[in-house]
A and B are shown apart, each in its own frame.
Chain A
Amino acid sequence: MAVMTETAAAAPMAPTPKRRSPYPGWFFLPAAIIYGVLFLLPTFASLYFSLTRWTLFNSTFIGLDNFAQFLREPFLVKGLINTVLYAVITSGLKVVLGLMLAVLLTSQIAARGYLRSVVFFPVLVSTVGVGITFTILMHPTQGMINEALAMIGIKGPGWLVNPSLALFSVALVDVWKGVGLATVIYIAGIVAIPKDYYEAARIDGSTKFQSFLYVTLPLCRPATVTVILLSFIGGLRTFDLIWAMTRGGPGFASDTIASVIYKQYQAGFMASAPPATWCCSS
C-alpha cells in the first residue's frame, strides 16, 4: 500500500470535510451566477436553437438541417470563407512580423525602448478610431497612402473600394494594430532563452541565422502557439474593424461571420444567427 510523502500530505485532497472548509463553495456564487446566466445559458440556448426548427409554440429537433440551410446561402458562405481567410492572414502575418520585430527588438540596436513603445501603443488604442483613421488614409484618391505612392509614380489601388482587396486591406490594418501584442509575447519568450544555448551554438560554428533557426525558433514554440491561438481566435471573431471600415462591403466582399450575424440581427432574422455563431466558434 502506497504511503503518501510528507509534501503530499501537506497539500491535501479534501474528500468530504465534515467541518466547514476554509475555502467555501459560496465564493463561487457571484461569478457563477453572472457567468452562468449571461454567458453559459445563452450559449447553450444558441446550440439548442442551432439544432432545431422552432416556431413560437414548439420546437422540433432537426439536427444539422439548419447548418445545411445556412451553408446554402451564398453570401453566408462567403462570410464564412472570409472569416477563415481573415483569421489565417492576420495570424500568419502577426506571427511572422511579430517574431521578426521581437528578434530585432532584442538585439543590440539603439532606441529599443522607443521602438517597443511605438510598436505596442496601437494595441491599446480604440479599434473604431483606428478603423476610421485608416479608412481616410486609404481613400483611393485623396488618401495619404495613395498620394504617397503617387509621389513615387505608383498608382495606388482602391484599398477599400475594390471588392477583391477590401478584406485584405482591413486585415493589414488589423495587423498594424495587433502586431505589437505578438511582438511583446515573443520578446518575453526570447528573453527567457538562456544565453548558454547561443554560446554553445557559436562554439559549434553556427552563424547568426542558423542560431535563429535552430535555437531561437524551437525554444519560442510556446510563444508561437500562444500568438497563433490568440490571433487566430481573435481573427475569427473580428467585427469592430470590419464594421468601422467597410461594414462588410463593398457588397459582401469583406463580410465576416460576425458582421453577417449583426446584419441578420438588424434585419430581424433570428434563425440564422445561432448557426452562424456556432460556425464561428468551430
Chain B
Amino acid sequence: MSLLRNYWLSAVAIVVSAVVFLVPFSFIILMAFKDKTQAQLLDFSWPQGMHLWTNIVEVVTTRNWMLLTAFINSTILTVASVTLVVIFSAMVGFVLQRRKTRFNGLIEFLILAGLMLPPAVVPTIWLLQGLGLFGKLHGLVLVEVAYSLPFSILLYRAFIATIPRDLDEAAIIDGARPFDVFFRIILPLLWPVTVTNIVVQSVAIFNDFTNPLYYLPGNANATVQLTLYNFQSQFSTSYNLLFTNIALITIPPLIVFLFFNRQIVAGMTAGAVKG
C-alpha cells in the first residue's frame, strides 16, 4: 500500500519538479535555437530550423566581440580573486585557530560584521577613486577579495581545528619555520576544503552582478553579467540572441555543477552551519 503511494508521490514529484524547475531552462534553450521572428512569439513552440550556431556567432561578435571580452574579464576576475582569497584566508584561519590572543574576539567580531553588514558602496567608490582603482579590473578583484574573505576565513578556521596541533610541533622540532609549517604541512592537508572553497567562491564571483555594476562602469571592462544586462537594450527585439547569451553564461556553472556537485553542497552546508 505504501509502495503504491510512494510511486504515486514520486511520479507527482518528478512531474511537478520538471514543470517548475526544468521548464524555464528548456525555455531558454528553445529560444536559443530560434530565429528572431519566431523568438518574438515568446512561446514554447519547437524551433523551426536550428539557428543555434548563427545565434551564438552573432551574440559573440556583437559590439566588437564584447561577449568574448566579457568572458575573458570574468575569468580573470574569478581566477585572480579566488586565488588571493584562498591563500590569504587560509593564512588568517591558520593563525586565528592556532594562536589564542586577546585580539581574537575582536577579529572574530570584525569578520562576522563582514558577513552581516552590506558593503558601504559610496565610500568605497570614493576610496577606489582616490587610489586610482575605480573602474579597473584589478580594483574590482581587490573588492571581491575583501567581500569574500569572511566566509572563507571561517571555513578554513573550522577545518584547521581538525588538524592536530601535534603536526605543527613535530614540524617545528624537525626544523620548520612558520612559512614551512604553513605551506608544507597545513596547506596540503587543507586540499579538500580548498577545492570546495574554490568552487563555491568561483560560482559566486562569476555570477556577481552588483559589485561590477558599481565598481566597473564602462563597457570595455564589463563582466559577463553586466554584458547580459546591457544587451537587454541591444537585443530588445532579438529575444533569440538574448537567450543565447543567457544560455552561454549558464555553461560554466553547469560544468562546475556536473563535476563538483558534491563539493558545492558540502561547502555550502558547512559554511552555513558555521555561519
Q: Do A and B touch, yes or no (CB under 8 Å, in the complex)?
A: yes
CB atoms of A39 and B92 under 8 A apart:
no
Contacts of B9 in A (CB 8 A): 104, 107, 109
For the residues of A in contact with B, the DSSP-based class is helix
Pick the contact of A45 from B27, B28, B120, B178 — CB < 8 Å?
Answer: B120
A48 nearest CB across to chain B (Å): 9
For the residues of B in contact with A, the DSSP-based class is helix
Query: Does B218 reach chain A (CB closer than 8 Å)?
Result: no
Nearest A residue (CB) for B250: A125
Q: List the 8 closest pairs (A to B, CB-CB), nearest first.
A: A46-B120, A42-B123, A23-B99, A38-B146, A110-B10, A109-B10, A31-B88, A124-B253
Query: Does A13 reach chain B (CB closer than 8 Å)?
Result: yes
Interface size on B, residues (CB 8 A): 91
Pick the contact of A115 from B13, B149, B272 — CB < 8 Å?
Answer: B13
Residues of A95-148 whose CB lies within 8 A of B? 104, 107-111, 114-115, 117-122, 124-130, 132-134, 136-137, 139, 142-144, 147
CB atoms of B119 and A39 under 8 A apart:
yes
Interface size on A, residues (CB 8 A): 86
Contacts of A14 in B (CB 8 A): 99-101
* Segment from A62-70, A155-163, A229-237 that makes contact with B: A229-237
Query: Does A200 reach chain B (CB closer than 8 Å)?
Result: no
- Given the interface contacts A117-B261, A132-B246, does A42 sit within 8 Å of B120 by beta carbon? yes
What sequence of 0s and 1s flags, for each residue 1-37 of chain A, a beta carbon within 8 Å of any chain B beta carbon? 0000000001101100000111111011011101101
CB atoms of A124 and B121 under 8 A apart:
no
14 inter-chain pairs at a CB distance below 8 angstroms, sorted by A residue, are A35-B150, A38-B142, A46-B120, A109-B9, A111-B14, A115-B13, A125-B253, A127-B225, A128-B225, A185-B269, A230-B272, A243-B209, A258-B118, A281-B118
Contacts of A10 in B (CB 8 A): 165
- Given the interface contacts A38-B142, A281-B116, does A30 sit within 8 Å of B91 by beta carbon? yes
CB atoms of B272 and A226 under 8 A apart:
yes
Query: Does A81 reach chain B (CB closer than 8 Å)?
Result: no
Nearest B residue (CB) for A271: B122
* Segment from A53-61, A72-80, A209-217, A272-280 that makes contact with B: A272-280
- Given the interface contacts A22-B178, A42-B123, A45-B123, does A147 sit within 8 Å of B43 by beta carbon? yes
Query: Does A43 reach chain B (CB closer than 8 Å)?
Result: yes
* Segment from B15-23, B51-59, B61-69, B190-198 that makes contact with A: B15-23
CB atoms of A244 and B246 under 8 A apart:
no
What sequence of 0s and 1s flags, for each residue 103-116 of chain B, a beta carbon within 8 Å of any chain A beta carbon? 00001001001101
CB atoms of B118 and A127 under 8 A apart:
no
B120 nearest CB across to chain A (Å): 3
CB atoms of B124 and A42 under 8 A apart:
yes
B77 nearest CB across to chain A (Å): 14
Pick the contact of A118 from B22, B107, B207 — CB < 8 Å?
Answer: B22
Nearest B residue (CB) for A110: B10
A189 nearest CB across to chain B (Å): 9
Pick the contact of A119 from B21, B149, B150, B232 — CB < 8 Å?
Answer: B21
Contacts of A222 in B (CB 8 A): 273
CB atoms of A124 and B178 under 8 A apart:
no
What sequence of 0s and 1s flags, for each residue 220-241 of chain B, a beta carbon within 8 Å of any chain A beta carbon? 0000110011001000000100
A136 nearest CB across to chain B (Å): 6
Query: Does B181 reach chain A (CB closer than 8 Å)?
Result: yes
